Structure 1
């Protein structure tokens, strides 16, 4: 009972020691159970023992075999074929070398049952990759330990030769032979052999998708093997991290977003998602071809200017107020001022102006405009012309994706691109300044896709 307690204590102690190594492979741990045999005969000592490997396989006369589970081992893979193994073993010693009679007859030296207990650790190297096999796993190991025979104990230095045969990916049959060289005379040098099974374990699959965390690009989110463990929530063949519409099946050409009416404008950007329309009108139709979407055209079947809501009524100054209602028909103005220009725009006007500015679409990572943005910019030009005496600042902002310096430069270029467009369309350069603020002034959470979209924006501010 005392030695069983020793064996249990040794296993727990060595398992605790082994956990100091960090995980670096799938199934890095292994647990082994075996029966062992101890041979105190052929180890190169004086009588009653013989030369090294003398009668190495004399099982009957020299091996002390405990026909039960008498050895427990815990292994931890280190790296590059190296493994650390901690072992505890029990045995009963009944044969200790041999006796030679005066007539030269050699007989086994029998002793009273002596309790054998060993506590050992080793580092071994596997030749499995060297021989290019996925079944046979030969190895060599070196290490040390402490061995007791009854109450006498001594430290040993050990050398091990072993072979594992992997029946499955995780289960192997293992045979090994270890030479133990004692440091003290009170314990004889000896061999210890074992035969048993080894079970590998320890691989982590946090999201339970069948792909180990080490190989899982999305270890905390269940996914598909084809996407290295990342999910495709809408099953459209595009993994969520690359899908702009991860919860709605869509097309690869639109990064996973749908185009329900088939007009080439994805639904999330389509103001008329159920009716086929034109790209330059954000997916809405224009029956009279006047450049005003039917939904915004007061005369959808009769061509007219956009400034007059698509109707063919005169608007000399192009301020959207018909000449008959315009007190300044030759000078662009505002409805609030009966067609005459305001000195400075009101808060609602600035809100309208900024709603246009925030909807400006740029090419990804660039300061160039997408084609569908032209209508938005023209609407901004019209507002700027309504207030010829007012000065404005154009500000560019980005989300936090990418480096801070890159975002700063991109926001500056985009702000200046808007300023350049306004100048090119008749707004005095003296009235406009532009500056970029990068990722410094978010208005939403950069940790969400929706938040990052809001943070990528252009703002217009009235200067005093």
Structure 2
């Protein structure tokens, strides 16, 4: 008998370990702790075994007569360990102890009762779509000892669990155990009630959803998305969201469409202004086939050759000819399409003006300075809107009054000559400053020569 007991225990452990290794490790275990009641009465009278048939009733006769027939040990008397396999199937290995004081309609002298059983049960909980009501049926086998006499049994069972939450349930079960030994076996019912503690699920990301049910097992997420996160809260889980950090619309796979033009922002070159698909979401206000952000005249239709404007920009300076005061000379927008005189240009003009020569003590220009003056005019004409002032300067030698008079006359002489060779009169002014603005010392001949000069400045 002891060898048979060891063999049964080893078989049950082998079944449990085999099932555990063969299945997904995330399927939970459950431990049940409870009490059991053994009833030898309502099992039928057809076979003798160790009990006289007259001491028993028909099958299920007085099934709930607990006072007369049930043997109950008033303490924890049953422990079972279960493993969920798949598709509602659960394997359970359990053990029970009891004291037998009633056998059928007769009393007994505190016989010891032990049993070890293996069960395969089918749970209807998922099939009926319930979250708390969990009926089941099953079959199994085991070994039972009554008064130290053991016998094998074939078991049929029915039970129901009531789940209080995801991990705790009350289990009520009735098992019919048919004895295989005709001479000393005792067929009987065993009823049990116990508290079930479910455990063993793996939740890698700690979001409360077991890995077996978690589509994103390594990233904390939400139950409504099977364990996947929705970072931007737009109702589309991140793994299906093309814009997981920005709330968007389902029709654009989670990306926003700020301007409502049916082109999501990440594909829209003009995401804040409603536009057309053919222009990548940008508008074409004037309908000339050139999107506004590339159209220099977005409100007036024009050909592509004119950058979308009805007027050309001949000099290509970004100022349309209609607004360009210098349409044939590239300029700046700030200067209405005309070029702006730079410090370098003024410096260049003054390099030329330094070489202008006058007759001694007079305002008349020497002829060998004419080419220099022509160069000055040529430069000035490149800046059609700029106005210049011709300044005359002298050294401090001689009378102040004469020097001032001479400087004015020489500046005027240069101005008049420039006008005579093509410079616009209204673009030139002249002024003489005598010796009041020296650029070198008047104590040396070299210094005085530098101070006798004509300068050109830009008039604002």
Normalising by structure 2, we get a TM-score of: 0.49
| Bigger-Rg structure (1/2) | 2
In the superposition, the TM-score normalised over structure 1's length comes to 0.48
